[in-house]
Structure 1
Amino acid sequence: MLHVLYLVHDVSDPAVRRRIIMLKAGGARVTLAGFRRTQELEDVEGLTPIDLGMTRDGRFAQRLGAVAMAATRIAASLKSIAVPDVILARNLEMLALAQRARSAFSSSVPIIYECLDIHRLVLREDFLGRGLRGAERLLGRNVSLLLTSSPAFVSHYFERFSQIDAPIELVENKLLELEPRPDSGPAPASPREPWKIGWFGALRCRKSLELLADFTRGTDGRFELVMRGRPALSEFPDFHGFVESEPHLAFKGAYRNPEDMADIYSQVHFSWAIDFFEEGQNSTWLLPNRLYEGCRFGTVPIAMAGTETASFLERHKIGLVLAEPSVVALTEALSDMTMERYEALHHAVLARDPATWICDRSDCRALVVRLERVAAENGAPGAIAA
């Protein structure tokens, strides 16, 4: 059985949990080590994480200091675990720790770099940005495989800046569906007013929140916004106060992915697949989780023109694409919504092959087989040849 040491920047990140589920479903054994954002360290999918310290969201200098501290004690932190077959490092800071971990094992364990977002700091053209890209190129010399989630990340960043000279595996942010979904389940939202827009996941875009507040307020209750997930409070002056002050906005808390997906998407008609958080950069290039999740359950995605998400929708001939980020554009796209028009948009999404949206057990196994091949090619201890 392939043994994966998974180094993560935030053990409570839902995407970390999904990747662990995927690796275990594919037949791998996982050891989890990483930083926490809370005082208490909780188990993740039956794994007790190795605690590397505490970091704070949006505090880059603090995170650098925590990584430097963890690097000095990584050998002691990992002394009780067996030498892994591969080290999977999520994000740049964990790539740095992966190098130290490999040295601690006195082994040539292959390193796999998982990069699912391109942080705005590495795209700066000042000393900091060039320094971070240089560090990534240096650390990337020892990377055996790059995992990323959008082809635009490859073309606009990794190829443009010649960052990682390693094979690339595209692993899209699809919804985990390890067992066939039963035909019976939560009924989809009825095609009638009030029309509900769902914005689920990492809520970090103040521009989206303000735009949707302005739009829903102007429709006199015809449209409502339902939010669920984890709001990045560092990005909003008063998220909860703002939401409570708006008549047609509601925040309904966290949810479990994939367990709650069918239920939460059955309560909305549209999925907000737009993010201006790093406009023109990461937000333009990504293919977000909510794109796949919403489409799996037939909600109609809304994207912004000029983004990778919009290109995706146009290729599949589904969804709505806004010409510009304005109330006017959103009104033009939605104001004449009728039951008949919505049904047509809804059924166009449902008509796509479900494999477009989901990751099943065969996909999980395919990923683990790919990691096994990397381990075998690098002669890692205990590697399983594919």
Structure 2
Amino acid sequence: MTLHVLYLVHDLADPAVRRRVLMLSAGGARITLAGFRRGDNALAAVEGLRPIELGVTADGRFAQRLGAVGKACLNISSRLRGVARPDVIIARNLEMLAVANRAVTAFGGRVPIVYESLDIHRLLLRGDFVGRMLRGAEARLGQKAKLLITSSPAFVENYFRPLSGLDLPVLLLQNQVLALGNEADALPPARKRRKGDPWRIGWFGALRCSRSLAMLSALSRAMGGRVEIVLRGRPARSELRGFDGVIAAEPFMTFGGSYRNPEDLQAIYADVDFVWTIDFFEEGQNSSWLLPNRLYEGCRHGAVPIAVAGTETARFLDDRKIGFVLPDADGSGLQALFEGMNEESYRHACYAVAKQHPSLWTIKQSDCEALVRRLATLSTNTEGAAAVAVAHSHTYRDQGGLS
């Protein structure tokens, strides 16, 4: 019997939503996708799937989002009218956990909920009344959940275990590249560089960190064009004020727009030498704990990652002796790195990345099938599913995938 998953998401245009839907579909599940449109963002195209829109939200406007979520909770029965009862509901982010609880009631109860939390919002980490209120809401809404999906061990160590109030088995699904064909086990392509060409750093994905933008601008200007910066993805214009004007004024920086994941990854990463995996957006909190998409994407396609000390990404790189970890975040270490960069040191760095097993960077067909089997167990045997997930959570730091 085909597993029916209702996937409730905070942003229907998020490329990571498309990747998860493709993963579930590849694993054999049938998906109903419902969620919010984020402003004017075009919906991420998922072949053969028409999402159910629950409303419109605005980036960076938390109060507006709360209002939209409240309205969706009130109207969820009518929005889901005609949708068959799902076997599992996956709620991506805290606001969708609230919607999921209402959806369970609309379907008559006893539908297991999976809480998918791939970022820890800064409001959840506040020590004041607002933070305690939100963590309390998360704990209450999570009482009906059977499983927590997250993407970094540091989220569990720094938030979910000590602070959240949730008591759920954990499934680690890292932000790896979806590779469903024979390319899943292929080694990254050889890097092609002409001696004397500028070094090119790619900053791809969710572009929201003004400090990264300033550091990369300062580096490219200080190096007089010997380092070029290439940006691709979705800029958070609420955080990067005047983004288009800033880029237009930069002599050694370009923005190439959005891209498809995974279809365009090989082309965009082949165009750069390094991948910028640093994020200061929520420094010391979410940004220090995450393992970003671009880490896996870049390494999968042979680009050399750059991180900053004291982060989960730096720990990941140090454990595998790959990439470059800046000793500090003041910009001087970054400039020193490139002033000392030469073709030999770059070849050594490329080799260290290339010799890693491809499974470290990719989600394969078997991983997709394993995920759907795990979700199916929640639907058919809650106690058995919890036992399996708990066993998995004990080894989550060393777990590279589901296989």
Cα 1:313–1:185 change in 2 (3 A) is closer
Letter in 1 for 2:37: R
Cα 1:298–1:330 change in 2 (3 A) is same
Unaligned runs of 5+ in 1: 380-386
Secondary structure at 2:36 match in 1: strand
Q: Whole-Å Cα distance in 1 between the matches of residues 353 and 191 of structure 2? A: 13
Q: Are the aligned partners of 1:191 and 1:269 in contact in 2 as well (CA < 8 Å)?
A: no
Question: Shift in Å at residue 184 of structure 1?
Answer: 11
Which string of whole-angstrom CA distances, capped at 9 and with x for unpartnered residues, describes residues 203-234 of structure 1? 00000000110011000111000000000000
Letter in 2 for 1:255: Y
Find the counterpart in structure 2 of residue 24 from structure 1.
Answer: 25
Q: Are the aligned partners of 2:208 and 2:281 in contact in 1 as well (CA < 8 Å)?
A: yes
Which string of whole-angstrom CA distances, capped at 9 and with x for unpartnered residues, describes residues 274-330 of structure 1? 000000000000000000000011111000100000000000000000011122110
TM value normalised by structure 1: 0.95
Question: Shift in Å at residue 44 of structure 1?
Answer: 2.8
**Residues paired across the two proteins, number:** 379
Q: Does 1:346 align with 2:350?
A: yes
Q: Whole-Å Cα distance in 2 between the matches of residues 218 and 373 of structure 1? A: 56
Q: Whole-Å Cα distance in 1 between the matches of residues 44 and 20 of structure 2? A: 17
Question: Shift in Å at residue 162 of structure 1?
Answer: 4.4
Find the counterpart in structure 2 of residue 69 from structure 1.
Answer: 71
Q: Are the aligned partners of 2:290 and 2:313 in contact in 1 as well (CA < 8 Å)?
A: yes
Which string of whole-angstrom CA distances, capped at 9 and with x for unpartnered residues, describes residues 12-60 of structure 1? 1000000000000001000001000246767533211111010011110
Letter in 2 for 1:29: R
| Mapping for residues 1-386 of structure 1, pairs under 5 Å | 1-38=2-39, 44-181=46-183, 188-190=191-193, 192=195, 193-378=197-382
Q: Whole-Å Cα distance in 2 between the matches of residues 357 and 284 of structure 1? A: 20
Q: Whole-Å Cα distance in 1 between the matches of residues 228 and 183 of structure 2? A: 28
TM value normalised by structure 2: 0.91
Cα 1:238–1:374 change in 2 (3 A) is same
Q: Whole-Å Cα distance in 2 between the matches of residues 327 and 71 of structure 1? A: 46
Secondary structure at 1:181 match in 2: helix
Name the Cα RMSD after superposition: 1.6
Q: Whole-Å Cα distance in 1 between the matches of residues 322 and 8 of structure 2? A: 37
Question: Shift in Å at residue 333 of structure 1?
Answer: 1.8
Q: Are the aligned partners of 1:191 and 1:342 in contact in 2 as well (CA < 8 Å)?
A: no
Secondary structure at 2:58 match in 1: coil
Q: Whole-Å Cα distance in 2 between the matches of residues 41 and 352 of structure 1? A: 34
How much identity, in percent, do the aligned residues show? 57
Q: Whole-Å Cα distance in 2 between the matches of residues 273 and 42 of structure 1? A: 23
Question: Shift in Å at residue 191 of structure 1?
Answer: 5.6
Secondary structure at 2:319 match in 1: helix
Which string of whole-angstrom CA distances, capped at 9 and with x for unpartnered residues, describes residues 84-118 of structure 1? 00000000000000000000001200000000000
Question: Shift in Å at residue 127 of structure 1?
Answer: 1.3
Secondary structure at 2:340 match in 1: coil
Unaligned runs of 5+ in 2: 384-403
Secondary structure at 1:234 match in 2: coil
Letter in 2 for 1:251: F
Q: Whole-Å Cα distance in 2 between the matches of residues 115 and 215 of structure 1? A: 34
Which string of whole-angstrom CA distances, capped at 9 and with x for unpartnered residues, describes residues 151-209 of structure 1? 00001000011422111000000001111229799863416420000000000000000
Letter in 2 for 1:227: L
Find the counterpart in structure 1 of residue 395 from structure 2.
Answer: none
Secondary structure at 2:203 match in 1: strand
Cα 1:215–1:116 change in 2 (3 A) is same
Q: Are the aligned partners of 1:197 and 1:225 in contact in 2 as well (CA < 8 Å)?
A: yes
Find the counterpart in structure 2 of residue 384 from structure 1.
Answer: none
Secondary structure at 2:205 match in 1: strand
Deviates more, 1:85-94 or 1:333-342: 333-342
Q: Are the aligned partners of 2:191 and 2:350 in contact in 1 as well (CA < 8 Å)?
A: no
Runs of 4+ in structure 1 displaced over 6 angstroms? Answer: 182-187
Cα 1:376–1:291 change in 2 (3 A) is same
Cα 1:223–1:149 change in 2 (3 A) is same
Letter in 2 for 1:301: P
